[in-house]
Amino acid sequence: MAVPFSPFPRWPLWKDIGVKVDKDPGKSSGIGYNAFHMDLVNVTRPPDYTTLLCVRPDPLGGGRTILSDAHAAVARLSENGRALLAESAYRYGTFFDLFGVGEEYKPFPILAGAEPGEEFVRFTAKMLERSQLGRAHADAARELARELVGGQVSFMLQAGDYLVVNQRRFLHGREALGCGQDAVPVADRRLLLQMFLRAPAGASPAAQHR
Ligand SMILES: O=C(O)CCC(=O)C(=O)O
Ligand SMILES: [Fe+2]
């Protein structure tokens, strides 16, 4: 279906996402709400797929996976909102020691000009808190974040479940983990393994999922 690769030379192909109580709660391995995003949003060639293998769900019952159809959410926005999202006015995060994902993209448009439904909706709701955005562009992005939540589905990954997310179609995130993670031994805490996939040249992941 697609070829595994590691964008992070420093980490193994299967990157573990454990639980770190002292980490930024909204980020990977944090204990809080991980808002809707695509992985590696600020590169010119993001992974076509991001995949998550669940080794252990949260013993405290939190950490449901959330998914939302990005193009469906975009279609519910006003024309003016869509026009703002198509401007190169967005930025997020840093670019450091990455492999196989092109160049840093900064600033970037959330919506590409290409055929609707075929391209990435290059979005992370984390930019609303963590990046400097102009007022109108931030408002349009906040509107998109609201629509993503409105159209979301959520489910609990169980041990052995393997989720493959087409990043051209869906954005993903995670609900907060259960309260009291400090009391859970590290070896019993939630554990996922993450791997990225590149679609074969010429294959359109968006088309494959019609
Ligand atoms: O913890 C999760 O379920 C998702 C984490 C995630 O999306 C990420 O690390 O990129
Ligand atoms: Fe992610």
Q: Which pLDDT score is estimated for 202?
A: 75
The residue whose CA has the least distance to atom 7 of ligand 1 is: 173
Q: How far is CA 52 from CA 77, 114, 128, 145, 178, in A?
A: 30, 28, 25, 22, 19
134-154 residue pLDDT tens = 999 999 999 999 999 999 999
Q: Which pLDDT score is estimated for 206?
A: 52
CA-based radius of gyration for the chain: 17
Name the stretches of the chain with pLDDT < 70: 114-117, 204-210
CATH 3.40.50.10860 at 3-208, yes or no: no
Distance CA 73, CA 135 (A): 21
Q: Which pLDDT score is estimated for 157?
A: 98
Atom of ligand 1 nearest to the CA of 173: 7
Q: Which pLDDT score is estimated for 201?
A: 81
Q: Which pLDDT score is estimated for 116?
A: 62
Ligand 1 center to 53 CA (angstroms): 11
Global pTM?
0.94
Residues in the ligand 1 pocket, defined by CB under 6 Å: 17, 28, 34, 39, 65, 172, 174, 192, 194
